[in-house]
Structure 1
Amino acid sequence: MRARLALPIALVAAVSVAATACDASSGKDGAGAAGKDTPKAASAAADYNPVPYDRIKDGGTYTTAGTFDEQGNPFNVNATLTASRVWSWYNADAITYSPTGEVQYNPDYYSDVKVAVEGGRQKVTLTINEKAVFNDGTPIDWTAIEATWKANNGSDKAFDASSTDGYDQISSVHKGANAKQAVIEFKGVNASWTTLFTTFLHPKAATVANFNKAYVKKAHPEWGAGPYTVGEWDTHSGGITFVRNPKWWGKKGKLDKRVYVNLESTAAVNAFKNGQLDYTSVGAAESLKQVKGLKGTEIRSGGSPFEYSLYFNTKSANLADTAVRKAIQESIDRSQIAKIQFQGLDYKEPLPGSAVLYSFQKGYQDNVSAVLKYSPDEAKKTLDAAGWKPGGDGIRVKDGKKLEVGYTILGDEPLDKAVAGAFTAMLKPVGVKLVTKKADSADFSKILSERRFDLFLSGNRSMDPFGARYLCDFYCSDRDSNITGSGTPELDKEIRATADIADLDEQIAAANKVERKALQQYAFLPLFSGPSTYSVKKGLANVGATIFYSPLPETVGWEK
């Protein structure tokens, strides 16, 4: 599962716009690495204080900043990372991955898993734990797997599904030896099938109306299952409290309470300093400085399966022209954006070259550099050739229309302003006027789903290691998750063909090849990943920089 971030940009540094503008038009090549001493790959380190279940004490509360999402169903196209995180505290976590991506089956849900391939077709048999039951008393059986498949396979367009990939390769889901066994038959072979059923829907949640609307600013604990359930869901304050679930049949949750308090990022750092929070993200140099050395706390930092990219709305007036999009990308010095992001963090990484794989993963290739070079001179030639002539004020004009492009930022953070200033300074010399537009953080989902932007910086987090399967989400022209609106039916066909390749290595090689074509739509520009850095109260177990690992809720708690 790929999840969009709940905020468009992690606060990683605070630099003045003036300083940024001075740096922005340096003539260095921004297509490659951000400096000579830049490592060849981003960090793959995990740092989360792994502690075995029996060494975690019973009781206690774990409190962080956070709130529920507008859309709380993680299978829905409008859901973000927030939805996935909140969901996992009161719904099934049936399959997880280790930090490096190995598959882990949770026996409290799937007591046995068998995978067979006969005649080029894959069959997966899931045996569901005899005791497994939804909170409303409905047994968890093969119908939950079937309902999840039907809602997400794309056969009924009324479902606002985030991704049909993989689900559309299943020909049937049926009952096995008994109702507690689900048999999943594929049309071919799916190397990353585990990503499809890491969690599942209650059959009642899988009607069109409920799938699309039931979880909008609402929780449905009765349709959930797991060691915790909803104690309080305050739509006024945005706060959430999870408590132990008396109907849970598996390993008991170690915590008495898991609490989310609705706070902005700067307020969260202050709340952590005051002892009100047990954990906070400190991606920004300023935030890190404030919490470093705080008594009873420690910094946990490691690799990151996050990537932040610049999205181009190909349906907006001036960005409908491929030449304009290409020129803008040629004008952006990505290494300068990375410097702004990582200032004061003592962190370096190569510039990202793919939407779907990270530089620390096997098979990764720098597809961006293969199709794009930072060159303001080339950008000018691209615009000249497309008929955009420099105007008297330096802004290019075509058919009496000025080349003005909007850049939408959420909130009032100094870093966001600094990045906007950098983009403005980079585009001005080539004749593009960037107009910064401010929007409310609460409108994030609407801005994306309704394409209320020209340029927008947003992030994605990989919830699993199988990046190649998400190619369509980013680049297919008929996919709602492709918020740029770019692509062609011909390209869609090539992208979808990669999903039918059984061998993972071959699939990744094919995905790299197709991604290079897709990047030539010039609608999407990967900018940076960055480290995952957190300040944590000492003794908090199984929390921090986990890469692909999502610790089971029952294993989170305080060391004995």
Structure 2
Amino acid sequence: MPVALIAAISVTATACESSSGDGAGTEAGSTPAAASGAADYHPTPYDKLKDGGTYTTAGTFDDQGNPFHVNGTLQATRVWAWYNANAITFSPTGEVRYNPDYFSDVKVSVEGGDQKVVLTINEKAVFNDGTPIDWTAIKATWKANNGSDEDYAASTTDQYRQITGVGRGKNDKQAVITFKGVNASWPSLFTTFLHPKAAKVDNFNKAYVKKAHPEWGAGPYTVGKWDTHSGNITFVRNPKWWGRKGRLVKRVYVNLEQTAQVNAFKNGQLDSVTAVDAESLKQLKGLKGTEIRSGGSPFVYSLYFNAKSAVLGDKAVRKAIQESVDRSQLAKIQFQGLDYGEPLPGSALLYSFQKGYADNVSAVLKYGPDRAKKELDAAGWKPGSDGIRAKDGKQLEVGYTMVGDEPLDKATAGALAAMLKPVGVRLSVKKADPADWAGIVNERKFDLIISGNRSMDPFGARYLCETYCSDSDSGLTGAGSPELDKEIRATSDIADPDKQTAAANKVERKALQDYARLPLYSGPSTYSVKKGLANVGATIFYNPLPETVGWEK
């Protein structure tokens, strides 16, 4: 999905976290050197699963169901994967795995400094409408995402732009992809692909809005019921599937508010549920016939600053606010009762359990409210009689959009307001309905907001432009410059992945000096799951193939 990643697909934060740069994630002395890289999902071979059963969780479709679209979300990616191709996946730690049901052979070579990838597509592979899956699907996916046609609202284009062509190989079932230079992260571009009809611009942008198109899909499951009234979804076995049949008879999403999900699990209506905070974990622990599965998380939640808003257009104000945010205190709020700790995240690209990670936040930012006061003084923001600063007759009041109404949301908003008030900044908390979240961030209707991204693949450097380029449709902040964009894009031409990561870290440190995004926390992935449910839980970079999800014999 974007391919690979939705790499960082935006999701609403259920709470907040911390990070100053020089603070700890939990109590002093207890912070581990790296965030957890553990996976916990009861891995079970296909032949050990029984034939039959239903798997039900909370969930629904998002407004935009095309994961390649700039408005695609993590939930859209997860739903898409149940009725579309999962051609390339990754192990929990990020090793590439090719699915022979789609790509029967993959060859990568470098000639004259340029990379060539030859994908041989399974002879049996066919879309549900009868269209053969062949080289034209790979070409159509590339064309829709390479930025050559600006009418496509694609999530990420830079890596696709490095492809110079997609051609027919020895027959229609072979796609030859040629690159300018070498691209070590190319598998992330084709983890899934589009039906040529779905890749037409109008369909790409609009066809999946609150709709499914099972006829353009392919895989062990297809849509059984897509209920736009209730928001529920049911996937059933696909009679047109050529590979191993899905172990489950049905995969069901039930549209439930967060507050109702734990009770639904306790009542047996759901087979697994996320423990989002200490209270839900307390309720879920020890339930008969269930178990807790907890591991690391390829998420990073950040505090985003709208650099186009009236007050936050002043970089001095953004920097002062970041220096006033005690990320470690926010982390304590978030992780209280979870028996979890992590160092404060130093990057929006890589996680501390990954090779090549660097704490780029600490390199450019230190927690220091006193320093922030002096910088605001120098920028002309003077304290008033009520302690709130003003400049040119306007008080320094900043809006904070709180998405949701959970106790952690409120605690985070209150903590942020308490941190900023002594510095002379009034935080005005504005409550928003989670259903409005996509519109708020995509139309930049906020001053400050917390949002999270999940990396769907381990190639963090690949998302440098998507994250920080000034002209990126995925950039929430509006910060950056054409000059920095050039430096960012130059990193994509570095063939050696280790050198590319090192260069990306260097450029990220420059981008962070726009003070428009502050990484706050990752947190654990914790689930309560009915015993016997296999290949479900904390998977890090691994997305189990749909046919391998099921119940033990």
Q: Which residue of 2 aligns with 1:78?
A: 71
Deviation sequence 1:93-139 (CA, Å, 0-9, x none): 00000000000000000000000000000000000000000000000
Shift of 1:3: 4.5
Report Cα offsets for 1:15-68 as digits up to 9, x if no partner.
xxxxxxxxx9xxx97633233221110011110000000000000000000000
C-alpha separation in 1, matches of 2:30 and 2:202: 54
Match of 1:366 among 349, 359, 362: 359
Q: Specify the code of the residue in structure 1 equivalent to 2:13.
A: I
Counterpart for residue 37 of structure 2: 44
Give the AA of the match of 1:177: K
> What letter matches 1:368 in structure 2?
V
- Report if aligned partners of 2:16, 2:521 keep a CA contact under 8 Å in 1: no
- Distance (Å, rounded) in 2 between the aligned partners of 1:321 and 1:275: 52
Q: Which residue of the other structure, out of 483, 487, 511, is the alignment partner of 2:480? A: 487
For the residue of structure 1 that corresponds to 2:38, the secondary structure is: coil
Q: 1:533 is paired with a residue of what secondary structure?
A: strand
Q: Give the distance between the partners of 1:30 and 1:166, measured in 2 at CA.
A: 30
* Contact 1:140 1:180 (C-alpha < 8 Å) held by counterparts: yes
Taking structure 1 as reference, are residues 312 and 498 closer, same or farther at Cα in structure 2, changes over 3 Å only? same
Which runs of at least 4 in structure 1 moved beyond 4 Å after TM superposition? 3-7
1:185 aligns to what?
A: 178
**Any unmatched runs of 5+ in structure 2?**
none
Letter in 2 for 1:362: K
Q: 2:520 aligns with which of 505, 516, 527?
A: 527
Alignment-mate amino acid for residue 247 of structure 1: K
What is residue 2 of structure 1 aligned with on the other side? 6
Query: Residue 89 of structure 1 is aligned with which of 79, 82, 85?
Result: 82
- Does residue 1:113 correspond to 2:106, yes or no? yes
- Partner in structure 2 of residue 300 of structure 1: 293
Gaps of 5+ in 1: 14-23
Please give the secondary structure, in 1, of the residue aligned with 2:312: helix
Deviation at 1:5, TM superposition (A): 5.7
Question: What is the deviation of 1:274?
Answer: 0.4
TM-score by length of 2: 0.98
The aligned counterpart of 2:24 is: 33
Q: What's the counterpart of residue 315 of structure 2?
A: 322
Work out the CA distance in 2 between the residues paired with 1:211 and 1:310.
30
- For residues 120 and 402 of structure 1, the distance between their equivalents in structure 2, rounded to whole angstroms, comes to 57
**Aligned-partner Cα distance in 2 for 1:316–1:481:** 17
CA contact (8 A) 1:144 1:203 kept: yes
Q: Which residue, 382, 403, 414 being the options, matches 1:389?
A: 382
**Alignment partner of 2:341: what SS?**
coil
Letter of the 1:400 counterpart: G
Is the partner of 1:346 in helix, strand or coil? coil
Aligned length: 547
1:154 and 2:158 aligned: no
Give the share of equivalent positions with the same residue, in percent: 78
Separation in 2 of the partners of 1:185 and 1:337? Answer: 47
- Closer/same/farther in 2, CA of residues 335 and 265 from structure 1, 3 Å limit: same
In 2: Cα distance, 1:276 partner to 1:159 partner: 40
**Aligned partner of 2:469 among 449, 472, 476:** 476
- Equivalents in 2 of 1:367, 1:4: separation in Å? 18
Give the direction of change, closer, same or farther, for the CA distance of 1:11–1:431 in structure 2 (3 Å limit): closer
Q: What displacement does 1:423 show?
A: 0.3
Q: Counterpart of 1:370 in 2: which secondary structure?
A: helix
- Residue 10 of structure 1: CA displacement? 3.2
User: C-alpha separation between the residues in 1 aligned to 2:330 and 2:374?
Assistant: 23
In the TM superposition, what is the alpha-carbon distance from 1:12 to its structure 2 partner?
8.5
In 2: Cα distance, 1:147 partner to 1:340 partner: 46
Matched with 1:19 is: none
| Other structure's SS at 2:261 match | helix
Distance in 2 separating the partners of 1:473 and 1:6: 12
Distance 1:8 1:382 in 2: 32
Q: CA deviation at 1:440?
A: 1.1
Measure, in 1, the Cα distance between the counterparts of 2:6 and 2:221.
24
Between 35-44 and 70-79, report the one with greater CA deviation.
Answer: 35-44
Aligned to 2:120: 127
Residue identity in the other structure for 2:495: A
For the 8 Å contact 1:12–1:283, the answer to whether it is kept is no
Cα pair 1:6 1:444 within 8 Å, conserved:
no
* Cα separation, 2, equivalents of 1:31 and 1:553: 42
Check whether the contact 1:12–1:285 (CA below 8 A) recurs between aligned residues.
Answer: no
- Tell whether the 8 Å contact from 2:117 to 2:177 is kept in structure 1 after alignment: yes
Is 1:61 aligned to residue 57 of structure 2? no
